[in-house]
Amino acid sequence: MNDGLVLDVRDLHTHLFLRRGIVKAVDGISFSLRRGEVLGLVGESGCGKSMTALSLMRLLPKESARTVNGQVLLEGEDLLTKSERKMREVRGRRISMILQDPQTSLNPVFTIGNQLMEVLDRNGGVDGESLDTQALEALRRVRISAPEQRLRQYPHQLSGGMKQRVVGTIAMNRAPSVLIADEPTTALDPTIQLQYLNLLKELQRKSNMAMLFITHDFGVVARMCDRVAVMYAGRIVETGPVREIFDRPAHPYTSALIASVPKIDDDTDRLYAIEGEPPVPYALPQGCRFAPRCPFVEERCRAAYPDRLTVGPDHTVECWKATAA
C-alpha cells in the first residue's frame, strides 16, 4: 500500500446509459494522489471531470450511469468493490467532496447548525467537546463571522461565499484523506473567489490533506495545484507537475488552455478561444479526439489514438507529436 499514494485511480471507465445511446463519459483514465498533494483536473465542460469525481465517490445517478471498469484505490482499498454500506462509512470520513453550487448544496429547510451537526462526533470529538463547541470550532476554522448566530440561521440567509465556506467545513470536518473540490469557486462572485481559494489552500496545507481540484480554469490551477491532469473527451491527455506543464506543455490542448488564461499584461485585443467544439459524445472518433481542433494535426492523429509517452520527470502525454524524454 504505502508508496505514499493516498489515491490511486487505475483505468477508470464510467458510462452513461441514455436514450440516444451510450456515452463513455470517463473512458479509461488513470491518475494518483500522494498525501498532502493537490492535483488539478482541468478541462472544458463535458469532458468528464465531474463524472470522474462522482465515480470516485460512487454517487453516480443510479439509473443512467455506471462505472464499468477500473480500480479506485483509497489507501490501498478498492472503493469500487465495496458494498454500499461499507462505502457509506468511507464517504465523509476518508473521502469527501465540495460541490460546485453553494446555493443548492445546503438543504433549505434546516438550519446551518442542524446540517453541520450531522458530521460532528456524537462522542465529543478529540477533547470530548460538546456538539455546540465542535460546531462553533468548525465555523471558525473557515473564518465565518458571528458563528453563534450562523448556527441558528438558514441557508437562504447566508451569502454565496459564506455558504460555500459552510460546505467546505462540513466536507473537511472529519479530516478525510482525500478531498475532491468540484469547481468550488465557479459559482462565486469573482471578488470572493480568491479569498476562498486561499482559505482552501491554507486548510489543505494545515491538515496535509490530499486534494483533487477540478476546474476549467488554468489560472486557478497555477494558484492551487502541485500537479495537474488535463482531461479531454473522457481521457487524460497530459499529466505533470504544474511548473513543468506551464513551461513545457506537451499537448496542443494544454497549450491552448494555458493560452486562454487572460494575463493582465497581455497586449492582445481579443481573448484567445480554442476553435471548434469537443466531439459529440455518442460518436467519438477513432483517433485522437482533439484532432479536429488541433493546429498541428497529421494523418496518423486521425488514424489511431496516441500511446502514452513520458516526456519529462513525472510528465506524461498522449500525443503523436510529442517526443520522449
Partner 1 sequence: MGRFIVQRLLQAAVLVVLVATVVFFLGRLTGNPVDMILPEDATDADRAALIEALGLDRPLHEQYAIFAFNAVQGDLGTSIRYHEPVMVTFLSRLPNTILLATPSMIIAVLLAVPLGVFSALRRGRMLDRVSGTIAVLGIATPNFWLGIMLIFLFSVQLGWLPSGRMGGPDHYVLPAITLGTFLVAGFMRLIRSSMLEILDSEFVKMARIKGLSEFRVIWKHCLRNALIPVLTLWGVFMAGLVTGAIVTETVFAWPGIGRLTYEAVIFRDFPLLQGVIIMAAVLIVVINLLVDVLYAYVDPRIRFG
Closest CA to 49 of 230, 227, 287: 230
Which strand ranges, in their side-by-side order, compose the sheet holding 309-312? 95-98, 178-182, 210-215, 38-42, 227-232, 235-241, 315-317, 309-312
Q: Cα(261)–Cα(251) distance, rounded to whole angstroms?
A: 16
Cβ(238)–Cβ(318) below 8 Å: yes
Q: Cα(319)–Cα(250) distance, rounded to whole angstroms?
A: 8
Nearer to partner 1, 157 or 198 (CB): 157
Identify which range of 22-30, 54-62, 219-227, 303-311 contacts partner 1 by CB under 8 A.
54-62
Q: Cα(283)–Cα(263) distance, rounded to whole angstroms?
A: 35
To the nearest whole angstrom, how small is the minimum distance from the Cβ of residue 62 to partner 1?
10
Looking at the DSSP assignment, which residues form a beta bridge with residue 66? 15
Nearer to partner 1, 88 or 205 (CB): 88
Residue 94 CA neighbour count, 13 Å, CB half: 15
Nearer to partner 1, 67 or 254 (CB): 67
To the nearest whole angstrom, how small is the minimum distance from the Cβ of residue 99 to partner 1?
6
Binding pattern for the stretch 72-111 against partner 1, x by CB under 8 A and - elsewhere: ----------------xxxxxx--xx-x-x--xxxxxxxx
To the nearest whole angstrom, how small is the minimum distance from the Cβ of residue 155 to partner 1?
9
Residue 125, amino acid: G
Nearer to partner 1, 96 or 193 (CB): 96
Put residue 37 in one of left, alpha, beta given phi > 0 → left and psi -120 to 50 → alpha. beta
What residues between 146 and 175 interact with partner 1 by CB under 8 A? 153-154, 156-157, 167, 170-171
Q: Which of 22, 59, 175, 194 binds partner 1 (CB under 8 A)?
A: 59
Binding-residue total with partner 1 (CB under 8 A): 31
Q: Is 130 in the site for partner 1 (CB under 8 A)?
A: no
Nearer to partner 1, 93 or 143 (CB): 93
To the nearest whole angstrom, how small is the minimum distance from the Cβ of residue 160 to partner 1?
13
Closest CA to 289 of 236, 250, 214: 236
Nearer to partner 1, 111 or 195 (CB): 111
Which residues contact partner 1 (rule: CB under 8 A)? 57, 59, 61, 63, 88-93, 96-97, 99, 101, 104-111, 118-119, 153-154, 156-157, 167, 170-171
